């Protein structure tokens, strides 16, 4: 147990931070599971938002958030873009 007043204060502070961090991580994990299961656009957007929020709060590192977002974006089918027709132009000689 901490002896000094400052150490006791630090213990209280770290306990509060640990609680908040565990809530953020659990929300992220739940949204990731849901996104991987449903593979809907809304679920993926929610999970990406949670990853960004966790990185902003420095609960996870920025690169981990980027990897999560990359994996999630692969789950959603990309929009079908219309094929562009090539314009044929005559070259002047």
Token pair 């656009």 in the structure block, residue: 41
The more confident residue out of 33 and 77 is: 33
Q: Mean of the pLDDT values across residues 20-43?
A: 97
Q: Mean of the pLDDT values across residues 58-73?
A: 97
State how far the Cα of 61 lies from the Cα of 52, in Å rounded to an integer. 10
Mean pLDDT, the chain, rounded, equals 92
CATH for the 5-75 domain, from 1.20.58, 3.30.360, 3.30.1360, 2.60.40: 1.20.58
Count the neighbouring beta carbons within 10 Å of the beta carbon of residue 65: 20
- pLDDT for residue 55 is more than 70: yes
């Amino acid at each position: 147990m901490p002896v000094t007043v400052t150490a006791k204060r630090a213990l209280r502070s770290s306990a509060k931070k640990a609680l908040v961090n565990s809530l953020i991580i659990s929300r992220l994990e739940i949204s990731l599971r849901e996104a991987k299961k449903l593979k809907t656009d809304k679920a993926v957007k929610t999970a990406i938002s949670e990853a960004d929020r966790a990185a902003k709060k420095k609960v996870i590192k920025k690169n981990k958030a980027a990897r999560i977002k990359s994996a999630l974006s692969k789950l959603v089918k990309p929009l079908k873009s219309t094929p562009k027709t090539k314009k044929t132009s005559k070259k002047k000689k």
